[in-house]
Structure 1
Amino acid sequence: MAKLPILTAPDPRLKRRAKSVEKVDARIRQLMDDMLETMYAAPGIGLAAPQVGVLERVIVVDVSPDEEEAQPLRMANPEILWHSEELGTYDEGCLSLPEHYAEVERPKQVRVRFIDQDNEIREMEADGLLATCIQHEIDHLNGTLFVDHLSSLKRNMILRKLTKARKSEQFPAYAAAS
């Protein structure tokens, strides 16, 4: 397994739509494993392939409270078949928008179809944090970030801070002088 670099906003690759996976083969299984290692190391509870520069419809999720109870989900081509009308709000963050959080309202429950790591088509229902995390990661596959669910004022404020932080990493001497 390998830890992969995580893209940060406003990287334009995060806004592109990912392509469907034809089959979960050894290459996709390796990608899933590498994504899980990257997610756990970050640390995070979900990661989509576009966040590591791979424009394929693959996500990994694990909302378990600790490592000993890990219950990783590996999903290719996840699609929401149904969602509840009842909404829930979570303070969402994202590995591609480090140290930025905001309340996002999403359906409380979802039913999702996906291809698992064994190339089997599965369906599952999720609620609460797991439902939110799955929706958040599927958004990444469609080129949507959690800040896209916020008002333009809040979104632009977060993106400006990330752009400024990125510039200071690229040009530390310039940032220190400004």
Structure 2
Amino acid sequence: MRPSPKGSRSRSASPPSAASTPGRNDLTGPRPVLRYGNPVLRAVCVPADPGSPAVVDVLTALWSALDAEDGVGLAAPQIGVRQRILVVRTSPGRGKAVRLEMVNPRLKGSFGPQMVFEEGCLSFPGLYLPVIRPVGVEVEFFDRDGKPRTLRDRDLMARIVQHEMDHLDGGLFIDRVPRWRRFLSLPRLMGIRLSRLVKREAVER
């Protein structure tokens, strides 16, 4: 996920009416973030093996890619790894940076009102859309050492976690906006698709 350049503005809203996984050797070197149009982004990810060296490799690759893109969240399929792993980086009220790693996250529940917040995504450079989500969530997951954890949080942290968890099931934030808004975004979406194809052609040459 990428924060909106307009700042973290939100408003309340009324409630709306097994692929193969790369091994450790595949994670050597930089991992570019996949852009919209890549079929991996629509794949349903398989569970990872909590506490395994392979999971640590994926987490390392995710942090490297996230730092390079200056984002706040990234899921494994966005770097071509079809496993249920994600990372989140945010700064809560007191300014202390939080770095969260989730392996096999499972949504236990949500709470609070539905809120509208403008979201961006590293797989959709330059595109920002208002998305409705619950203000708070409770999520069960494993950390990098294989220990079970539970997160209960709200606002920005909850927003990023929900955005990244969507990726693990092949969901994209454009799926959560009305069709008319997606239609208005078509020029930008087609531009992202085209740039991905141009880059792939350049690499293949």
Structure 2, unaligned runs of 5 or more: 1-27, 200-205
The 5 Å alignment of 1:130-145 reads: 130-145=157-172
Residue 85 of structure 2 corresponds to 58
Indicate the RMSD between aligned Cα atoms, in angstroms: 2.1
- The SS at the match of 2:48 is coil
Contact 1:24 1:76 in 2 (8 A): no
TM-score (norm 2): 0.76
Identical residues among aligned pairs (%): 34
- Pick aligned residue for 2:61 from 24, 34, 42: 34
CA distance, structure 1, for counterparts of residue 31 and residue 111 of structure 2: 34
User: For residues 23-102 of structure 1, what are the structure 2 equivalents within 5 Å?
Assistant: 23-64=50-91, 69-102=96-129
Q: Which digits, 9 at most, give the CA deviation of each residue in 1:43-88, with x for residues without a partner?
A: 10000001111110000001127xx943211111111101014112
**2:182 corresponds to which residue?**
155
SS at 1:54 equivalent: coil
Cα 1:137–1:171 shift into 2, 3 Å? closer
Check 1:171–1:117 CA distance in 2 against 1; reply closer, same or farther (3 A cut): closer
Q: Offset of 1:108 from its aligned partner?
A: 0.5
Distance in 1, matches of 2:114 and 2:196, equals 38
- 8 A Cα contact 1:87 1:105, kept in partner: yes
Q: Which one has the bigger helix percentage?
A: 1
Q: Name stretches of at least 5 consecutive residues in structure 1 with no aligned partner.
A: 173-178
How many residues get paired?
Answer: 170
Distance in 2, matches of 1:168 and 1:57, equals: 27
Return the TM-score normalized by structure 1: 0.87
Inter-CA distance 97–106: structure 2 relative to 1 (3 Å threshold): same
